[in-house]
């Protein structure tokens, strides 16, 4: 099975260049998740490894060490950042495959300072790069259709860009009071929107056990997000010792928010 991590290294630098222009330093999870959205994972890459981490996420995390070794990015407690050489690499190697080949061959970077400015312009998000084993056509069509969602949501009373509703759909719906598990329309699993931090939250009580869930938007399975914010992705999984539980969803990342109080399985 193909490992497309090398095709996501240029998007990683693009994401970091864009963050640098905005004065921010994203953490590893943000960068890897966004790179996986720009170059969608294959079915093989979405499979969960031990610890519940998707194969594509782990492979890309490992591959970014090549960017650090080349001096194109840095990793620290304050987040990840692109270097000046990394900006030159984005400008000098215009495609993901070209940049990956340059890393393999150790091709030196051109010295022209103007390339840094060009790199910052080139770092704007583009359409997802095609990979050898592309996602199913149905997923591609759905992703294109959902791009129109924010404009429709504005009439629902929520802030622009937020869905009308978000549900925690999992194998514990009945324990929270729903008639059945995995029902995105059940009242008991609907999250509340907190305008203070723009997060969706669900608080409840669960007995000890191992659980799985996804986030389903607008009362159906049409738009749902799994591990690492991937559309139709693998389930989130967590181990619970019993008692109170808080699950938070961030629509900016389409992922589990740090405000959640969960122990990963």
The number of folded domains in the chain is 2
CB 27 within 8 A of CB 15: no
Let me know whether 112 and 181 are in one domain: no
Cα angle 31, 126, 227; round to 5: 40
**Is residue 113 predicted with pLDDT exceeding 80?**
no
In a domain, residue 128? The reply is no
- Identify the pLDDT of residue 77: 78
**pTM for this model (two decimals):** 0.56
CB 86 within 8 A of CB 73: yes
In a domain, residue 66? The reply is yes
Question: Cβ neighbours of residue 246 under 8 Å, at least 6 residues apart?
Answer: 201, 202, 203, 259, 260, 261, 262
**Is residue 108 predicted with pLDDT exceeding 90?**
no
Range of the domain at 67: 4-122
pLDDT, the chain, mean = 82
Give 6-60 pLDDT, tens digit per residue: 999 999 999 999 999 989 998 888 899 899 888 988 888 888 776 667 888 889 9
- Identify the pLDDT of residue 143: 63
- Identify the pLDDT of residue 128: 47
In a domain, residue 138? The reply is no
- Identify the pLDDT of residue 261: 82
- Identify the pLDDT of residue 69: 92
Cα angle 218, 185, 234; round to 5: 75
DSSP character at residue 161: T
**Alpha-carbon torsion (2, 8, 41, 45), positive or negative:** positive
Let me know whether 107 and 165 are in one domain: no
Give 145-197 pLDDT, tens digit per residue: 665 554 444 444 556 689 999 999 999 999 999 999 999 999 999 999 999 88
Q: CA 216 to CA 193: how far, in whole Å?
A: 14
Q: How long a stretch of residues is the chain?
A: 265
- Identify the pLDDT of residue 67: 94
Write down the residue that tokens 């059940």 correspond to: 186
């Amino acid at each position: 099975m193909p490992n497309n991590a090398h095709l996501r290294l240029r998007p990683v630098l693009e994401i970091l260049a864009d963050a640098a222009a905005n004065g921010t330093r994203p953490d590893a999870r943000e960068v890897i998740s966004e790179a996986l959205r720009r170059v969608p994972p294959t079915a093989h890459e979405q499979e969960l490894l031990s610890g519940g981490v998707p194969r594509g996420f782990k492979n890309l995390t490992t591959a970014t060490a090549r960017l650090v070794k080349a001096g194109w990015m840095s990793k620290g407690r304050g987040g990840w950042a692109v270097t000046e050489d990394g900006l030159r690499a984005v400008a000098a190697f215009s495609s993901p495959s070209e940049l990956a080949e340059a890393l393999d061959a150790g091709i030196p970077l051109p010295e022209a300072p103007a390339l840094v400015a060009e790199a910052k312009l080139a770092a704007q998000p583009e359409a997802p790069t095609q990979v050898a084993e592309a996602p199913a056509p149905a997923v591609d069509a759905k992703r294109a259709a959902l791009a129109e969602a924010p404009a429709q949501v504005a009439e629902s009373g929520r802030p622009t860009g937020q869905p009308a509703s978000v549900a925690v759909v999992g194998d514990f719906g009945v324990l929270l009071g729903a008639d059945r598990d995995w029902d995105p329309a059940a009242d008991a699993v609907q999250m509340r929107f907190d305008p203070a931090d723009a997060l969706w939250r669900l608080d409840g009580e669960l007995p000890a056990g191992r659980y799985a869930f996804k986030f389903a938007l607008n009362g159906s399975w049409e738009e749902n997000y799994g591990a690492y914010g991937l559309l139709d992705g693998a389930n989130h999984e967590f181990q619970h010792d019993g008692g109170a539980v808080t699950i938070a969803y961030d629509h900016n990342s389409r992922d589990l928010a740090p405000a959640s109080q969960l122990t990963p399985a």
